[in-house]
Amino acid sequence: MKKFALALAVGSMLLTPQIATAQDSTERVVTVMHAAPGKYRELVDFLVETDRIRTEASLAPRQIYRHHNGANWDFLVVEAPLVADEDDRMEAAAKKLGIKPNPGTFRNLVMDHEDTVVGGPTTAAAILAEMNQ
């Protein structure tokens, strides 16, 4: 994966395998982020910039959830895994917007993060039916 993608796509281009086999996949990448001390606003700015790039690249918007109460995370981002050409489309979109890649940006803005790939939404009955096949 290109260094550019590592810097700009947060959850969908961090550490998990991100190339989907089909664009209509029900898999989603979920990234939980905990802002580094004093970097909350900068992380929000980074998320906005990434969304601008995604919009310019004609990619589906991400769902971003903001923490209100409970555990120590700040943002939860849900998005479809990238398909093969989307990395190139994001790079071209960033260039068109005049946004230069900075591979270390995300790591400087978060204290920690966790990525996971999930499938759904579904129901318990559907999972049981799948298990019984």
DSSP annotation string for 93-127: HHHHHTPPP-TTHHHHHEEEEEEEEEE-S--HHHH
Q: Give CA–CA dist 19/66, Å, rounded.
A: 26
Structural domain count, the chain? 1
pLDDT at 22 over 70: no
The residue range of the domain holding 98 is 3-131
pLDDT at 103 over 90: no
Collapsing DSSP to helix, strand or coil, 48 comes out as helix
pLDDT at 1 over 70: no
111: domain CATH number is 3.30.70.100
User: What integer best gives the mean pLDDT of the chain?
Assistant: 84
Q: Give CA–CA dist 64/31, Å, rounded.
A: 9
pTM of the predicted structure, to 2 decimals:
0.77
